[in-house]
Amino acid sequence: MTDIDLQKNKCKPCEGGVSPLTEAEALRLLKQLNGWQLHTQHIIKAFDFKNFDQTMAFVNAVAWISQKEDHHPELKVSYSQCQISYQTHAIGGLSENDFICAAKIDALFDL
């Protein structure tokens, strides 16, 4: 697996039938992300905000990215935090799509 520009890539449809990434492959892609952690077959990151308005604006931006990529995370939302967890459910583990979406979400803070 060669390094890819995660932010510039698009998610590919995944309907199963392919193997999840190995731990080594996931760790290599994880190095391209900012602050995400590998938990079993998920990648997770918590984003902190000053108030509810900022949190909800972020959640809406994540929803827009998710719809555009047709790849959706698990979200836990509170007053000033949003925790995001990615896993490709169709394969029961991590795929490149999870890392592509995570990179695009990280890029929100570079705007």
Q: pLDDT for 44-72, tens place per residue?
A: 999 999 999 999 999 999 999 999 999 99
Residue 14 inside a domain? The answer is no
CATH of the domain at 31: 3.30.1360.20
Confirm whether 27 is domain-assigned.
yes
- Is 8 contained in some domain? no
C-alpha–C-alpha distance, residues 67 and 26, integer Å: 23
Per-residue pLDDT at 2: 54
Predicted local distance difference test score (pLDDT) of residue 109 = 74
Is residue 25 a part of any domain in this protein?
Answer: yes
Total number of domains constituting the chain: 1
pLDDT at residue 19 greater than cutoff 70: yes
Instruction: Report d(CA 43, CA 37) in Å as an integer.
Output: 5
Q: Give the range of the structural domain holding residue 40, as residue numbers without chain letter.
A: 20-110
pLDDT tens, residue by residue, 80-92? 999 999 999 899 9
Note the pTM of the prediction, 2 decimals: 0.89
